[in-house]
Amino acid sequence: MNTRQHKISKQIQKDMAEILRPHALSIAPGRMLTVTEVNITPDLGLTRIHISIFPSQKGNEYIEMLNNSKNQYRNELGKRLRHHLKKIPEILFVLDDSLDYIENIDNLLKH
């Protein structure tokens, strides 16, 4: 990942966290949503936004809900990035299940 991709990824991560914050209760009531990582393609055409959901039950359903509304979130992101990018990348929300993986390893080590 080059420097420009890295800077844009960090800016998208920050902006998307701010965009999702007021919507978190309606998207996943009683859950904590965190934007953990953002990957953007070299042509800046697609960005994968990794979302951690805690507790993670029904995590895939919440990701599907986010992806169903991705045009709305892309529009919001476009308003924030309009001075930085000519074309706003397509977005795809992806479930970050690293917390579940860590918890599983922890449980295996305890037994």
The residue extents of the domains of the chain are 3-110
Q: What is the DSSP letter of 74?
A: H
pLDDT score at 79: 94
100 pLDDT exceeds 70?
A: no
CA end-to-end distance (rounded Å), the chain: 40
Architecture of the 3-110 domain: 2-Layer Sandwich (3.30)
pLDDT score at 97: 79
Residues 6+ apart with CB under 8 A from 100: 56
Model confidence at 51, in pLDDT bands (50, 70, 90)?
A: very high
For the chain, percent of residues with pLDDT exceeding 90: 56
This prediction has a pTM of 0.85
